[in-house]
Amino acid sequence: MSSQTRNLSEINDLAVRMLVRELGPADAARFLNQFSVGNGDYTEERKEQFKGLTVDEIVKAIQGRSKAGI
DSSP 9-70: HHHHHHHHHHHHHHH-HHHHHHHHHTT----S-HHHHHHHHTTT--HHHHHHHHHHHHHTT-
- % residues pLDDT > 90 (the chain): 69
Mean pLDDT along residues 1-23: 91
Answering whether pTM is above 0.75, one says no
Mean pLDDT along residues 18-22: 97
pLDDT tens across 48-64, in order? 999 999 999 999 998 98
Residue 48: how many other CB atoms lie within 10 Å: 9
